[in-house]
Amino acid sequence: MAIIKPFRALRPPRELADRVAALPYDVMSVAEARQMAAGNPCSFLHVSRPEIDLAPEIDPHSEPVYRKGRENLERFIGERVLVQDERECYYVYRQRMGAITQTGLVVCAGVDDYESGVIKKHELTRADKEEDRVRHIDLLDANDEPVFYTCRSVPEINALIAGVTAGEPEYDFVATDGVAHTFWVIRDRAAIDRLTALFAAIPTLYVADGHHRSAAASRVRGARKAGNPTHSGAEEYNFFLTVIFPDAELHIMPYNRVVKDLNGLSIAEFMAKVAFRFEIAPAASSPLEPVGRHQFGMFLDGKWYELTPKEESFNEHDAVARLDVSILQDNLLSPVLGIRNPRTDQRIHFVGGIRGTAELERLVNSGEYEVAFVLYPTSIGELMELADADKIMPPKSTWFEPKLRSGLFVHLLS
């Protein structure tokens, strides 16, 4: 069963919400973060990406950066840019991006559920990224950015949330990228208790986005538990900030790939090797946007091609092997381009689908990369199927949009 609990969110006053809200720390470069926060002392990037307030040459994983994040959070509290609610609440967070609408419940999830497997994972974490989040969260003494979870839809939960969203929102604004953000506070104790009970009947939650933050929450709890002789299990560090969305509302975009070189092959040699396992045809449209599973677009030497894997190149009955990200990795990236471990190989770069095929063309045309691949997105059903089987997807299999904004709610650990 899934244990959730309400919490006293640290959040901006209504009139500051749009100025505080920021994109997640890991979807931008340092230079982009500096530009986004320029002229806005209330931007939450001063907390989530505190290196923007230090010298450009500083190591973003050094102790002064983590301490600056804590200093900036304390400044936000002192200046009432962020104010803590007086009592524990649940919150509802809705995002609208064009025709896409997703509405989630903001809660604290339990580290115990993460460690026991009630919360299912589908990706491995990178040690360096996990360590970065551990140090950031521990020194900040807060979960400053939520983890993005999903679960199978429950009609009564949906009805309760629909009742909340029929009321007056606490925040309602459109960000500069055109994504609308609306936020409600659930203060009613009966509604809080009912939601808690309904989630306790749900057997599984799934990590959609935020494996490193989840793992970091577990490690921070472990360290604090070990250092607390009166540990009871009720301390705030036993829980971490989460937004849970029903599976039917989530929108996954592809996570595309670009590669720096052709592994010492000429274009003709490369195409010949690809043809062993793929049917290759000039793209019927430029750029090529895959319209179904097992269709890939490839941009090389100024031209788009359609790649279709040959039947014998993968096992359609294997839940991992039949993923398009696996087909590309197992039949092209590894055997042809020599990228054995995409988690660590510096020759490959991953491009979120929100940036579009124009970004792939730009990267290849710039000369920095030699070839690009566009994929059909992994489905939420595929993600849940693999997680239920305790299997792991290849890295960078999913890109969720719209992204949760940071700074609208923070969970203090002590």
Give residue limits of the domains in the chain.
4-252+401-412, 255-376
Q: Compute the average pLDDT of residues 206-225.
A: 95
Per-residue pLDDT at 27 = 86
Q: What is the tens place of the pLDDT at every residue in 171-212?
A: 999 999 999 999 999 999 999 999 999 999 999 999 999 999
Per-residue pLDDT at 124 = 85
Per-residue pLDDT at 405 = 96
User: Which DSSP string do the residues of 346-407 spell out, in sequence order?
Assistant: TTEEEEEGGGHHHHHHHHHHTTS-SEEEE-PPPPHHHHHHHHHTT--PPSS--EESSPPPBS
Coil vs helix vs strand at 11: strand
Q: Compute the average pLDDT of residues 129-151.
A: 96
* Residue type at 376 in one-letter notation: Y
Instruction: Give the DSSP letter of residue 118.
Output: S
**Measured distance between the N- and C-terminal CA atoms of the chain, rounded to whole angstroms:** 26
372 band by pLDDT with thresholds 50, 70 and 90 = very high
Per-residue pLDDT at 46 = 98
Per-residue pLDDT at 10 = 98
Nearest-CA neighbor of 274 among 359, 371, 360?
371
Q: What is the CATH number of domain 255-376?
A: 3.30.1760
118 pLDDT higher than 90: yes
Enumerate the β-bridge partners of residue 311.
none
Whether 59 contacts 65, CB under 8 Å: yes
Per-residue pLDDT at 286 = 85
Cα–Cα distance between 394 and 396 in angstroms, integer? 7
Cα–Cα distance between 68 and 48 in angstroms, integer? 10
Average pLDDT score, the chain:
95
Residue 344's CB: how many other CB atoms inside 10 A?
11
Q: Compute the average pLDDT of residues 87-108.
A: 97
pTM over 0.75: yes
Q: Is 139 left (phi over 0), alpha (psi -120 to 50) or beta?
A: alpha
Residues of the chain with pLDDT > 90, as a percent, come to 91
23 pLDDT higher than 90: yes
Nearest-CA neighbor of 375 among 350, 348, 401?
350
Per-residue pLDDT at 127 = 87
344 band by pLDDT with thresholds 50, 70 and 90 = confident
Per-residue pLDDT at 396 = 87
